[in-house]
Structure 1
Amino acid sequence: MSTSRLGVPNATAPAQAEAIANRLLHAATPAEVIDVLLQADRHTPDITVLWSTHWPHNIVCHPAAPHDANLAAVAVDAVSVARMGGILPANLRVLHDDGDQTAAVLHCASGCPELLEAATHRLGEVLAIQGMQESVARLEQAEMLQRSLYAIADMAGSDLDMPDMLRGLHRIVSDLMYAENFYIALYDSDRDSLRFLYFADVVDTQKLSPDEEIPLSRFEHGLTWYLIRDRKPLMGSTEQLRQQVSGPLRVHGADSSDWLGVPMLRDGHARGALVVQSYLAGSRYTTAEMSLLAFVAEHTLTALERKASQEVLEQRVRERTRQLAETNVQLRHEVEERERGERLQAALYRLAALANADGAGERFYHHVHAIVGELVNARNFYIALVSEDGSTVSFPYAQDQHERDWKPRTGRLGLTEYVLRTGKPQLVDVARMQALIEAGEVESEMMVKPTLMWLGVPLLGADSAIGVVAVQSYDAGIDFDERDAELLTFVSYQLANSIQRRKADDALKQANASLEQRVEERTIELRKQIAERERIDAQLQHQIMHDALTGLPNRIYLLDRLDRGIARLQRYPEQRLGLLYIDVDRFKVVNDSLGHLAGDEVLKEVARRLESCVREPDVTARLAGDEFAILIEQAQLPETAAKVARRVLQSMQPAMAIGDRELRASISIGIAVVGQSYRSADHILHDADIALYRAKAAGRNRFVLFDDAMQHTAMGVLDLEQALRDALLNDEFMPYFQPLVRLTDGAIVGYEALLRWNHPQHGVLLPGDFLKVAEESGLIEAIDWRMFRLAMECSRDLIRDNVYVTLNVSPRLFQMEGFDRRLLELAADSGFDPAHLRLEVTEGTLLVDPEAMVAVLQRLREASIEAVLDDFGTGYSSLGHVHRFPLKMIKIDRSFVSPFTAGVSPRSSAVIEAILALGRSLAIEIVAEGIETEYQREVLMAMGCEYGQGYLFAQPQPAAHWLAGG
């Protein structure tokens, strides 16, 4: 007998097939379809079908096959192989596959039997229907979730207060899952505290206020504590929850059968928790509900934040509105104050303008009244002024409803006088008026008028009040306050100033009338004084720029002209200048012999003659003493300056009548022609002075033109000066000695110490080679003292019997204070006997300060040091002056001896005989200098001269020469 595809005998196949088909038609789920298949084929009990509408996830196995845990993985691999076209094992068969998410696999350990095509077709239909049903369910759930989120967002932006919004959130969550027991907690991380914004629980009845902050530590190791700390959702029974938390679990409140909580997170930080729980046995929350609650928690946190921000914003708006209302009040007050200030400022400006306006006093006060009336009620208004002595109060202006008597008053006690006494604004009502009367400040009879309010302000001057401005009211509706007093006070300052200015203007006008005449008289007087001052200034300017003695321009004037000439040369190089530097020859002789008055006359005559030699714009100037200068503005060629110099020299040839004498003066001239190389007036004067020095050295009464050679000579002088300094440091000076002899037998009676310079390059130099530079540089003093010491030390062995040594002393040493004391100290230090020492001085040295020289020489004589007058007959004295000085010896100058070379000179003989006679009469030794021939010696001996000195007897030699026997 044959069997069917499901193993049923063919005899019964039609009836059974119909029954199976009917049962498949009524099967509504994949499990029911599989049960029909299993019942139809009882010979293969190990059949298992695996299916899913979310393949390869959520795979369902029917009947269950716990013995094979890898059966689902085998089914997934079978579908993958089938989709790739592969061959499946005999125990696997793909019953349905839509190629996407729906698939069913048959597994049979003994091999897959043949199934009815209707059964596999029905299984595909049922799976498709189930997939569509699940999709519809998911869409419904998504739509519900979307509506819930919209509702949450709407509530966050609605006008609902926080409790109503939270109750609405509870209803929305209840629509999504079982949420009869529900709470929302917010976490403050800064304060580490919780606030339970919403709490609904049918078992746990504790009262938690939304405004109460509860430290999180109170819930330590509780479920809410773990949600905040671990920031992970928790779900399940208490035992399941113990396995999920990261530490020990403590149950706070009632214990539930199932519990689901999610943290509300923002940027990874916990901001709170959303919790639902169930006390019903068998009730369980699903993973989908946990995901759904986490999604809702995120939107709930956003809604809470928006609501909180909205409330904060509303609070800020309310606060800002309140502030704006207060500011508005302040602004209105400021506007009123500003308007008041502007009115006050305008009033003050108008009052200030009134002070300068013309018009009588009544008109002025009327305008003041009008201005005050714009600030306060001034229907009753008056101004009172106090007299200069403060005794009388007058009322220059008044407007009042009742008062008509405004005559001046003295010695009364009214409110006006009270303000004057206090110097302060006074606001007086009826009560204060009575108090002032009782205090004796105000007389009662002064208040007969029905005044209800009185306001008076002092008009303050520089030292005290000069008056009062007052307003008063007789009507109950018109009142004054402190603000009115303040306004009137401001007005009083300007009013007082205006009144004082008008008073001052009036006084000024009166004073001007009398002042104009006085000014006119004073102007005439000042014109005279100015003219006199201008004359004096011109005279002073002339005196500053001119010499008082000669009337010529002075050095200042000349330097100014030179500076301007140098500046002009920079622009016009061809316009060269010429400067003549002029010095009167031997002018000191005139001063010393004839006196300073005669010298002044000589200078004035020289100035007159110099000025006659030039024409405009050339300038003749006196520089100092006997020094003059002529500036030639146009000296393009040196010949031009030389021509002027010759004319100047010729002008000096005629004799000058000075007192009762006739003198002939000569001058020496140094010329510098100024070109672009010169940069200063001092440079020009320096070069002209060098040329003048050369003219004097060449014999005076001549001119010398400066050239480059002179510049080199001047530089040589500087080198010589430095060499002299080095010579002092290196001890290069030494004394030479020339003997003084008795003419009759040639016996040596003394030695004259003469200065020599043992120059390292040039050998022994005479004083004429360097003495002038030494004197001009000031080194002569140091050289002299060094010479004195060396002469004393070298001549100690030369002085035997009555032999002496003479030293030449320059004039400046005698002018030193303590010269004689220092010389004696030097002699003692050198071991030299002062009795063998004589000092040679010139006539000019004696006559510098005769009285002082007499005193010095007398002190030296007392110390055994005698004086010798050197070069007698060539100086400034006469024979009559010699007796004034304590002299031991006189030396006749060689100029009187030299004429005896070729014969006897009558003139020289007369002078020498006079000197010899003077010496004999004064017991002074006479020595003739410069004896070079035997004839000169014999003539002098015949004339009675006892001593002589000269090359006839010996030339100067070092001390060693004379010690060796000479």
Structure 2
Amino acid sequence: MTFEHPQELLRTGEADLHRVVSILSADAPGRVASALLEALGPAADKSYVVYSYAWPQEVHCWPEHCEADLDILAVDSRLLSLRNGETSAEAVLLSDDEQGVVALLMHPPAEAAAHAAELRAAGQRLRELLTSQRLDHSISHFSQAEQLQHALFAIADMAGSDLDMTTMLRGLHGIVGGLMYAENFYIVMYDRERAALQFLYFIDTVDFEGPQPGSEIPMSAIERGLTWYLVTDGRPMMGSLTDLAGQTSGPLHLHGADCLDWLGVPMLRNGEVLGGVVVQSYDEPGRFGERERALLGFVADHILTAVERKRSQEQLEYRVAERTRQLAEANTDLQKQIAERLRAEHLQAALYRIAALANVDESIDRFYAQIHEVVAELLNAENFYIALITDDGGHLEFPYFVDTADTAKPRRPLGKGLTEYVIRTGQPLLLDEPEALRMEERGEIAWSTTSGAPAVSWLGVPLLGQHGVMGAIAVQSYRSDLYYDEADAELLTFVSHQIANSLQRRNSAEALRLLNAELEQRVYDRTQQLREQIAVRERMEAQLKHQVMHDALTGLPNRLYLQDRLEREIAMLRRRPDRRFALLYLDVDRFKLFNDSLGHLAGDDVLKEVSRRLSDCVREPDVVARLSGDEFAILLVDINTPHDACGVAQRVQDAMQRPMSIAGRDLQTSSSIGIAIGDSRYQSTDAILHDADTALYRAKAAGRARFVLFDDSLQRQAMDVLGLEHELRAAIAAGEFEPYFQPLVRLGDSHAIGYEALIRWRHPTRGILTPDKFLPVAEESGLLEAIDWQMYRLACAAAAPLVKSGGFITLNISPRHFQNDDFDERLLRLTAETGFDPSKLRIEVTEGTLLGDPDAVAKILDRLRVACVEAALDDFGTGYSSLGYVHRFPLKMIKIDRSFIDSLGSDRSQRSSAVVGAILALAHSLGVEVVAEGIETELQRQALVAMGCMFGQGYLFGRPKPAEHWVEAPAEG
């Protein structure tokens, strides 16, 4: 307590001064309140003190037992009355700095006015202590936000590093441990198709027998356990085992060691549970609270991204290694093929040379010598001879014999030599000295009695003529380093055939006989060729007819075939009016995405798989045809009711929704189907194709992955769309579009800081139309850009009075504008032509725009920033990776999507408050302004102000109005 004049201290009695000093020396708000109530005396037995450093949050009472029955709304109503200058016997305002520091004495005693000094001292001391608490809370809040930001950056760095999965997961564990208690920590991935959990990482100080990292456990093994409920229910769980039992959707069965405190959050992607992150404590209950749950849930999304990116990297490395191995194997096989090809070419050349020798007019000795030269080029033949059976068949002669250890052999009667054995069996013989001795023991040959030096390795093959074996050729080795093998035997066998033919062709009579036989064979071969040519021509004609009427890629009938069948069905309707058929016109949803992302080859594989599935959905008389691209048609003949056609369409939908394995990825497909029932009203194929196509368009417009049965209302709707397109073109020419503006305000005092320009169409007959009534048709018809530029010009012209004294306007920019590199130049020319200051202009883009072509968008935004045109990110938090956009692109402002604002100020605000708080912390750390969209209630505004959000937009502050409205009335309130 302070006094402006010393006389005031003199007028304060000793007892009063003691009570004032006691109040001023209290070091906590509760002790100040206790000292004040004690100073007021027994008359204050029903009084209590309410105080907060962040009103209306963090509200406390003294005595503490009053908190259980505290009515915050009633206290807040008293506070508003006191702020408006009203007096109340129910409360005394001790402190209020309009920034959240509030203290009130509730139900004061009647003689409270006599204790003005104590009340002033209590108000001053409470204001000091609560202000200090508010500053401590802000410092802690910003510190946590900075720590979270560093953690997210560290996770992103790990995901893009070359660390292996195990090292990265240990790093993630360390990051989470820096944010909260995480001594016991594990990460699981959920495989829905296999109904199994894979424990990527598991560290536990108590459960040493837990799953090993990388192990896979069936869901049935941990059924009704905590982790089972985490991935099955898909929502966070936290608390003691007793608390957790009340959070599960069924009975809880414990697995593993019992913990005192447990916190688990699922890892989600597009609403599907892909895994979970869990921390637990064994030695201290209550370690985890709402802060830890929100923090772990926020970090879990980035852990999932890091794990998926690392898995993709490992899979890519595995595929590269596998492909390298396959190429190495293919190269080895190719080298073998090349060697085999060279060997074959060498052999073929040798055979050609031997064949040519038969036509050379040389002596027989020269002929044999040249044969020896050719054989020597193929294998070692330093010891080589040719043996022939004489005409009488009883002797063996050696017309050619070359040997380093023996002399020429004379003519001899047929006996049991090695050469005679080859001639007798008609088979090649390869042996060494031990094998020769064993054959001699069996009585097959006479080896030891053979004259000359024994061979270490011997190879002989028969010479096969037209009438049987005519002789043999042989090579032999006396060296211990030279042994013949099976390859040599095969090679010499090939050569022996050619040698035999050459020997026989030297006989003129035999040559004449062979010539006649060859002539007969040629006549036969030519006859067979003519027959084959006729058969080929017939097959080509049939194939050409099939190609004309069928699709080359899928093999299905094409449009010509389908039109022919439709004409026959329509003709049959004229003869049998009671007969019906149905035409299903369908296309593959998102096929262009598959084609652009995976390539045309993968797109072709998708079409082939679609063709196969469609064929499996129909019976034999029905026809499945591919019309063009990803468009297919199914002709159902002789159906009873339209319900039958709908049943087939549902069967097709079910078949198409099964995942496809294309290019190493599982693709989730679907189809949109239009159905037209053929009856007597159809006189041409074009008519029924048009109606089925109209129904298909309606199915796609209704959200895809569905079928629509054609009726007359669809035809009228199609005509309405055409009419609206015509009216839009006329509206552009007539200038019927107008800019409306909605204020962006400072939440503290509702002062407008800027305006968002929104388009309206002043229709000549239907009045003012909002964008949802005509922009979809404008975008589909290609009129959107023309409408946008007309709107930008009108907005700049109309907004000049709004920003005359400061502020800015924002324009919503369609993604297609960023496909033009000169968008920024054209926008700046427009501001120059309208005289609008570029520094008072901001453009709003969506996260989908940034995702389209990030590099091109970033360059355009950088050039606009240089020209003083800032950028704002609209609908923040609803895209794929909002944090990455804020960090990467030059953004001045982010607008929090209204989906996070709706629940503020209600019982469901806890999660939204955590997300909004995290966004605000991130934005403040990056120096980016934040605007909360969709504020409609005062409670939402107060909640945002309490969290530190400075700017907002919504119906609470004003609905979109023309510029003149806001010039006359800057805020609706």
TM-score category by the smaller chain? 0.3 to 0.5
What is the TM-score with the length of structure 1 in the denominator? 0.45
What is the TM-score with the length of structure 2 in the denominator? 0.44
Higher relative contact order (CA 8 A, sep 6+): 2
